[in-house]
Structure 1
Amino acid sequence: MNQLTLESNVSDIVKQIPQTGDLFRKLRIDFCCGGKVPLQTAVLEKKLDPSEVFEKVKEIESKQFQFQDIIPTSLDEKELIHHIQTKHHAFLREELPALSPYITKISKVHGEKHPHLLRVHEIFFHLKRELLDHTEDEDNVVFPLIMQFLSKPTKENAEQLIPHVFELEQEHENAGTLLKELREITKNFTPPEGACGTYQLVYKRLEYLEKDTYEHVHLENNILFENVRNAM
């Protein structure tokens, strides 16, 4: 990864850290067609403070690195739940609403020539609804039930928990099916030749959403839920 500076082109910054597109969109800095200019130049044109904007870029970069941290294998169930909530749930609650307007934009602007984008739009908003409901259910219902069972592994607590775990695993499978279709219809998230910056941004962020979701599901299905079953 290249070291970013105020002389880095805006378009290169968004390529390296896709979530900075949200910041530039908010500041009305063009990272698409007019993105091949140094950050400092683009910021000064908007009469903004380059050092303040660059600091925000570095904050977003730091947050991206935190999301990419590999989980230690030594976490107990309580720590693992906390990790899932602070990394994966936090990411989904931030990223899904932020990505929504870009998905809508490319489907409207490019959907006529690239009709698969209409299906991308449909899949994304289905996933958004399902994943946000899923995380809320985990935080408010299932994770507390898991902690209750682990602190008091009675037959009654196990019977109360099992249907919820089964339901979550089914939801994981459904999300995986949608993500597989998304990868197929976008040709492995490869934008067409000459695609605009927003088009490229969406594909990069969808690919990262896929990566994060698969890691999220792995931690729950193969570690957390498996540990719970082993305790029954």
Structure 2
Amino acid sequence: MTATTAEAPTETDALIDHILSRYHQTHRSELPGLIELAERVGTVHAGDPQSPKGLAEALTALGREMEEHMAKEEMILFPAMRAGGRPGIEHPLAVMRADHDDHAEGIEQIREMTDNLTPPDHACGSWRALYAGTDKFLDDLTAHVALENDVLFPRFEQG
């Protein structure tokens, strides 16, 4: 059990509330600023071979996927879970797990394009802040996915 899952509430409604407030709201509040910073750093350092070319686009794509995913959870999956689960819930759970796999690919792509978010020695403060913020964001997203995959979803899966 990770620290993230150890800190999570045990009761399902409380766990869903925790996911919504700790992760969904945090992702939605942090990502736009990271995208804006990535655009600015990319523009200012466009001539630098080590600049994070494509990072703003990768964050934007990941954010779009995440927003669709979180909306499906908020409108369909979580209400069904709060109602105790329904016959057929395994289908939306399978879709959510597939989305999580897509998020993991996006995280991997971002880490690869940025040397695992390690700024070069000559990076300016904005570039360093971008990488630190993106690292925190990706760590949060990874913890969010693990909490759903390992704690919440199994409560509603047969097996």
TM-score normalised by structure 1 residue count: 0.63
For structure 1, list consecutive stretches of 5 or more residues without a partner in the other structure: 1-67
Of 112, 117, 130, which aligns to 2:52?
A: 117
Identity score, percent: 25
* 1:183-204 CA-partner distances (Å, limit 9, x unpaired): 1221121101111111000000
CA-atom RMSD in angstroms = 2.0
Deviations 1:10-36 (A, max 9, x none): xxxxxxxxxxxxxxxxxxxxxxxxxxx
Structure 2 CA distance, aligned partners of 1:124 and 1:193?
23
The aligned counterpart of 2:114 is 186
**SS across alignment from 1:172:** helix
Contact kept in structure 2, 1:92 and 1:132, CA below 8 Å: no
Q: Deviations over 1:133-168 (max 9, x none)?
A: 2112211111001222x1xx5xxx221x22211111
- How much does 1:73 deviate? 5.3
Q: Counterpart in 2 of 1:146?
A: 81
RCO (CA 8 Å, sep 6+): is it higher in 1 or 2? 2
| Larger of the two Rg values belongs to structure | 1
State the distance in 2 between where 1:173 and 1:70 align: 19
Whether the 8 Å CA contact 2:62–2:106 is kept in 1: the answer is yes
Instruction: Specify the alignment match of 2:61 in structure 1.
Output: 126
Cα distance 1:195–1:115, how it changes in 2: closer, same or farther (>3 A)?
closer
CA contact (8 A) 1:116 1:185 kept: no
Deviation per CA, 1:163-188: give whole Å up to 9, x if none.
21111111110110111121122112
Q: Does 1:217 align with 2:142?
A: no
- Compute the displacement of 1:116 (Å): 5.8
Distance, in Å, in 2 between the alignment partners of 1:73 and 1:124 is 27
How has the CA–CA distance of structure 1 residues 81 and 74 changed in structure 2, closer, same or farther, with 3 Å as cutoff?
closer
The reply to whether residue 108 of structure 1 matches residue 36 of structure 2 is no
> Structure 2 length normalisation: TM-score?
0.89
**Residue 123 of structure 2: aligned partner:** 195
Runs of 4+ in 1 over 6 A off after TM superposition: none
2:104 maps to which of 176, 199, 204: 176
What is aligned with 2:155? 227
1:167 counterpart letter in structure 2:
V
C-alpha deviations, 1:66-114, integer Å up to 9, x for none? xx98753551111110110010011011001222210110111113323
Residue identity matched to 2:68: D
Which consecutive residues of structure 2, in runs of 5 or more, have no partner in the other structure?
none
Q: Which SS does the other structure have where 2:20 is aligned?
A: helix
Residue pair 2:4, 2:143 contacting (<8 A) in 1 also: no
1:21 aligned partner:
none
